[in-house]
Structure 1
Amino acid sequence: MKTKFGIYLEKFMIKNNYTLEYVAKGTESSLSVVGHYRKGIRIPKDDFIERFIEKFISSESEADEIRYIVAYDRTPDLIKKKLEESKVLKEDKQTKIISLPVLGKAAAGLGHANFEDNTRMEILSSVPNVGVPKNAFMVEVTGDSMFPTLSDGDLVIINPLKKEIESIDGKVCVLNYHDQTYIKRVKIKKDEIRLVSDNSDKKRYSDIVISGEDLEYLKCHGSVIESRRKH
């Protein structure tokens, strides 16, 4: 069966009248590799996807969609079968069944080196039917600096639409700062942004204060919608 990314890439190339050679050059890849990706017989690696997005994609939402379909392609067939079966289950007015990619870990403490390369899919069998944004994803929490709001090992659902700094004041967000990935509460002041821990032990978890030119190194991946605790 052809991969979802293969279907996407073929349509993308036809729509933009791009040749195989042009895409290969733009992504610094060989013709055979890109050809395999387009035919859907191989799943692209993360470095190819990021080069493809950087070269050809200007929309952040489309970039998130590409990462999502690649995560789906990597999902084992057994889980895919369960996902397809879940589509025919009758939804009541309160709950529904969805699946979301887990894109890595975010530290509630001292920071992780960006999202880790451990993408997987999680099936959530009961989510309040209030609407999960398109391209939402999950992140695993490590550390206890956000306790009691979040605990080590929690899976949090991220709304990728909430990225603008002005819209996330007071919210718990997944952020990247100087190549480290954090999950912190954002506090915005006139001349600075603070990444704040909910843990009351401020000696261990002091605020991360960002101001001036350092603000350009801060990127928000989205805000937390809810958490799922592993038992």
Structure 2
Amino acid sequence: MKTKFGSYLEKLMIKNNYTLEYIAKQTESSLSVVGHYRKGIRIPKDDFVERFIEKFIKTDKEADEIRYIVAYDRTPDLIKRKLDANLNTNDQKKAEIIKLPVLGKAAAGLGHVNFEDNTRMEVLASIPATEVPRDAFMVEVTGDSMFPTLSDGDLVIINPLKKHMQNIDGKVCVLSYHDQTYIKRVKINKNEIRLISDNSDKKQYSDIVIIGEELEYLKCHGSVIESRRKH
């Protein structure tokens, strides 16, 4: 199925008699990459989108439309169906685009130390925006220890915790432990907390077991609401 951006780009090229070579030159991109975007094989990255808007888009309204359709193309199929259902009903909850801060990276394997650095803002489609908490944020997953639940490069939306370690048993969470940041599934037992990888290779991805006084060094920043896979 062709992406919305692919359809938009194709119509723009036909209307203005643009060639792939011209689009590639104006956006400082390779011919093959632009061809993939037009065919819907790939979804454009943020830097391409902004260069495309700068060169070809004249109004803020149309620029927002471009950002929306790219965000839509990146959205999981389940959310897309809800978005489309909303557009075809009289429901007052309409699909919107929202912007969330990306607070660095959380490792599915070894920890990262750069969490809580606001590296950029990410535009995405929401169904509806009120379903995403106002103080939600995103982190980028690195490593494959949470595969198949999460993959390297995924962006995950995090629902911040109002209270430390509240109602997180069994959930995938972003946690800091000794100044390292992880994204793991949490299992709370009577005298310990385990940070568990979903990857079945337990020899490579063993549980992180935290007990006793070590628990004071563990902080949960929030649980995963959903993931958005980047292409």
Output the TM-score relative to the length of structure 1.
0.59
Show the counterpart of 1:136.
136
Amino acid at match of 1:141: V
Name 2:120's counterpart in structure 1.
120
Query: For residues 148 and 142 of structure 1, do their structure 2 counterparts lie closer, same or farther at Cα, with a shift above 3 Å needed?
Result: same
Rate the CA distance shift 1:193–1:114 in 2: closer, same or farther, 3 A: farther
Alignment-mate amino acid for residue 190 of structure 1: K
Task: Tell me what 2:81 maps to.
Answer: none
The structure with the larger Rg is: 2
Q: 2 CA distance for matches of 1:212 and 1:183?
A: 21
**CA RMSD in angstroms, aligned pairs only:** 2.5
Distance in 1, Cα, partners of 2:116 & 2:160 = 18
Counterpart CA distance in 2 for 1:163 and 1:115 is 19
Displacement of 1:116: 6.7
Q: Partner of 1:104 in structure 2?
A: 104
Please list, as runs of the form range in 1=range in 2, the aligned pairs for 1:33-182 lying within 5 A after superposition.
92=87, 93=93, 95-115=95-115, 117=117, 119-124=119-124, 126-129=125-128, 131-161=131-161, 163-182=163-182
Q: How many residues are paired up?
A: 148
Q: Who is 2:185 aligned against?
A: 185
For residue 216 of structure 1, give the secondary structure of its aligned residue in structure 2: helix
3-state SS in 2 of match to 1:167? coil
Asked if the contact 1:163/1:221 (under 8 Å) is kept, the reply is no
171-180 or 91-100, which deviates more: 91-100
Whole-Å separation in 1 of the counterparts to 2:202 and 2:180: 20
Deviations 1:28-56 (A, max 9, x none): xxxxxxxxxxxxxxxxxxxxxxxxxxxxx
Instruction: Quote the Cα distance in structure 2 between the aligned partners of 1:110 and 1:150.
Output: 15
How much does 1:118 deviate? 5.6
CA deviations 1:53-86 (Å, max 9, x no partner) are xxxxxxxxxxxxxxxxxxxxxxxxx8xx67x957
Structure 2: gaps (5+ residues)? 1-53, 55-59, 69-85, 88-92
**Residue identity in the other structure for 1:98:** I
